Amino acid sequence: MRLVVISNRVPAPTAATGAGGLAVALREALSRTGGIWFGWSGDRSAERALEPSVVQASNIAFTTVPLTDDDFERYYCGYSNRVLWPLFHEQLHAMEYRDTYRESYEDVNTYFADVVAARLEPDDFIWIHDYHLIPLAEELRKRGVTAPIGFFLHIPFPPFDVFRALPKRRSLLRSFFSYDLVGFQTAMDARHFADAVTREIGASVGEDGTVAEMEGQRVRFSDFPIGIDVAATSHTALASRSTDTGQRLTRALRGRKLVIGADRLDYTKGLVDRFLAFERFLEKYGSAVDDQMIYVQITAPSRENVEEYQEITRQLEAEAGRINGCYNSIYWTPLRLIEQQVPRNTLLGYFSLSHVGLVTPLRDGMNLVAKEYLAAQTPEDPGVLVLSSLAGAAEELGDSAVLVNPYSADEVAEGIYRALSMPFEERRSRWERGIEVLESNTAEIWRERFLDVLQSCA
């Protein structure tokens, strides 16, 4: 068996990969069987490529093609990120549908299929990733590909009453039936998918809720919550505590408790709502904590050329300045906004030194930051995870985290205070339950479980 992984972007063979990351899990799977990792190179060119660029690294062929400027604007920025991304995250106010976006999305999937189909072998297993490439299996089947094809959706699948806001949605749903196996992050996402295919295109779903059939086509589907490499993450975090950056953070805190958030800049992360919730925390509990804690929010820049994301940056900067202006003193600034990419090992060290991890997206497929935060803690003095109930991770980590509604400033404020004042015995007990969950479903276990089920479809 040879594995073929297809994703929108392909990492460079020489790129550094963080411990426990998705790229590591997929690369390890490819190295075991040999195979191809195919997708967009990240480059743009005047024309599409008739032949891909191939870089051989051991037994893995990193195989890439460029996109044209039009492909980038309409397939990637347009349909993928202005239509499917907000739709699947239940942010309909941000959805901007155009027929030209959809046409480009379908056309780029045809382009990918044309290039990769010629490089497939009869005994291959194909694993396609994420919302950019939903129609790809259907295009491969049109080209005579009979190999087992699996698909994994890394973002949420929305409820049907949200999904039906998508124009011309039936063709997208029908394309799922060209897969042998479709994986989702949570059981709720799988139920939403089953509801959509039954109500919109008349598919039948078996009693066990894992097989859908329509017009002679059959697809298996289930939840496969993605995990991390717990041991490697914990080791990196512990090692980073004693580095220069870790020691500087310890000195800068001067005994204060650290509340930390770390997110890619995106409206789905609810960062403005989080700042307003922190302001509510200061209103309600400020006299109790005074200058004994500090909230540090790290935001990694994302899609900096998109106006919506520039506006989020402006809002965060304005809210941070306003909140600090109201609550700071000559000896204390309660909120610090760090607008830059922080190396992963450094970030894990910060997690390890913190008392509260604030992970409150408005909606998220999984959110591996929540899992990494727990893995970075030490049993001697574990921090507490305050987690959005609307993140996929909440389905697994509910007993180990303080769950909050990210739309409620009062709930988030109360969650922060509860976490800061939680006694050691409860913190330790919650952390132990969380680690047990993480160790039962690592990135390797996630990968092998999916591939085992896909192989059984052959």
Which strands sit side by side in the sheet containing 53-57, from one edge to the other? 53-57, 60-68, 35-45, 2-9, 124-129, 149-152, 181-184, 217-223, 211-214, 204-205
Neighbours of 410 (CB within 10 A): 13
Task: Record the tokens describing residue 341, joined without a space.
Answer: 């990419």
Residues 362/270, Cβ–Cβ less than 8 Å:
yes
CA distance 354 to 351: 5
From start to end of 46-192, where are the E strands? 53-57, 60-68, 124-129, 149-152, 181-184
- Site of tokens 């958030």: 261
One-letter amino acid at 2 equals R
Closest by CA position to 370, among listed 435, 325, 429: 435
Task: Supply the DSSP string of 55-89, one letter for each residue.
Answer: EEETTEEEEEEEEEHHHIIIIIIIIIIIIIHHHHT
* Cα dihedral sign, 242-244-250-251: positive
One-letter amino acid at 260 equals I
One-letter amino acid at 371 equals K
Task: Record the tokens describing residue 332, joined without a space.
Answer: 């204390």
DSSP single-letter state for residue 332: B
- Site of tokens 């609550």: 327
CA distance 186 to 190: 7
Identified catalytic residue from 107, 114, 154, 195: 154
The answer to whether residue 355 is catalytic is no
The answer to whether residue 263 is catalytic is no
| Residues marked as catalytic | 154, 364
